[in-house]
Amino acid sequence: MNYPEPYITYLLHFHGDRDYFECHEVLEEYWKEVAPGERESHWVGLIQIAVAFYHYRRINFKGALTTMKKAVSNLKKKRDEITDLGLDHNRLISILEKSIKAIDGHIPYQSVVLPIADPALIEQCETDCKDRGFIWCAVSNMDDQMLIHRHSLRDRTEVIMERKRQLTLKNEQN
């Protein structure tokens, strides 16, 4: 089966370098192309999983818990869509519900593996991870501060410049 390239990239980051921030970035861009404004999209649910694990790893239990509950609520209703993405829906929901209990109990973060049911998808991801220098299903490198705190440590120059440009355009129109 053919899967969207951004979804494959999401899986590579989720299981390879555990860059949940990048998972969010890649899939959010894709979601905005294919289902803009559709807040209950399965793409949003997958984004929420990555965001929840990003918060969880940073010991932001409140943010992780809120976001993971939203993901489960969304994805429980998306059996066909999740299955079409090569994932085992029942096992996915079970993993996420166990994660909610762990987060709620303030149990330290542990990397999880999404339950991919399609052997061809696993094979593709393993190969692509190797090509990128990732180890498929490796655990998070908890010593990598850039990975753990990426949202606050990344270079935001382009974002700031674009915001200034948009503000200038808005002011010129008024």
pLDDT in tens, 69-96: 999 999 999 999 999 999 999 999 999 9
The answer to whether the beta carbons of residues 141 and 12 sit under 8 Å apart is no
pLDDT attached to residue 37: 85
Token pair recorded at residue 156: 């935001």
Token pair recorded at residue 157: 């120059």
**pLDDT tens across 106-117, in order?**
999 999 999 999
In this prediction the pTM is 0.84
Q: Can you give the residue ranges of every domain in the chain?
A: 5-142
**pLDDT tens across 20-40, in order?**
999 999 999 999 999 988 999
pLDDT attached to residue 31: 96
SS3 sequence of the chain: CCCCHHHHHHHHHHHHHCCHHHHHHHHHHHHHHHCCCCCCCHHHHHHHHHHHHHHHHCCCHHHHHHHHHHHHHHHHCCHHHHHHCCECHHHHHHHHHHHHHHHHCCCCCCCCCCCECCHHHHHHHHHHHHHHCCCCCCCCCCCCHHHHCHHHHCCCHHHHHHHHHHHHHHHHHC
